[in-house]
Structure 1
């Protein structure tokens, strides 16, 4: 089966009735958890981005508290999972400020994890890679936000 292009899908969706569109959305939500999460974000959480950020930060805190810190192997595995989850939520939002806020919070939690990430090359590289990514994303934001976020980045680099 050949997959249709976005343009073809958009054209076809324009011909669908309201009830057919509802059925399509519900059918999509049944197949993957990510589809259901995206629909939930669009319908309920996209109107209040600050509340969404707070909710995701709380989720990040909970996930960091659940990390098994007995070995660096388990820490790396858990941190990768948390980062993957954070990036998924960033994809839903598509808002640069949300992206920077969530990544800064992730890096702050990662920096203060015990045992220290300074003793593990993989975790240290992951941390620095995300800091560099944040610095690039901050450059496209408003000047006032750039200043605020630059201060937060400098705090994380100390």
Structure 2
């Protein structure tokens, strides 16, 4: 199986944000297919994002100073993300529902964190998103919230339940 190649250097050179193009390419990968990414810099933040999605990364500098990164899927894909999710099936029913599926980043993160700021410890929020909120996870962890999430059956929406942690 051939690698899927994505060259984000033109996007970066024009001052654009390539994350959407990268995640779009990841969504197009066939089972077991690798992503070969070309960038103007070593994309360190992307390594953890891709690791969370079940990919190992191998970065190498090209002769012209740009970078090529090959993302290889692990043997078993990671379908569900959990953090401090002690028996989520024992959590209370969600007290709040947010449909962020039509919003563009960073609006979903802003709305979710804003709602969590108003919630009591132990209350549960259910959010429906258009994509996996990989940049939200570190914020949730830093604020002491527990969460569990996965893609719906169709793979077109991401479901996230968050149990509010103790206020600082």
Both structures adopt the same fold (TM-score exceeding 0.5): no
TM-score in terms of structure 2 length: 0.26
- Structure having the larger proportion of residues in strand: 2
- Structure having the larger proportion of residues in helix: 1
Return the index of the structure with the highest Cα Rg. 1
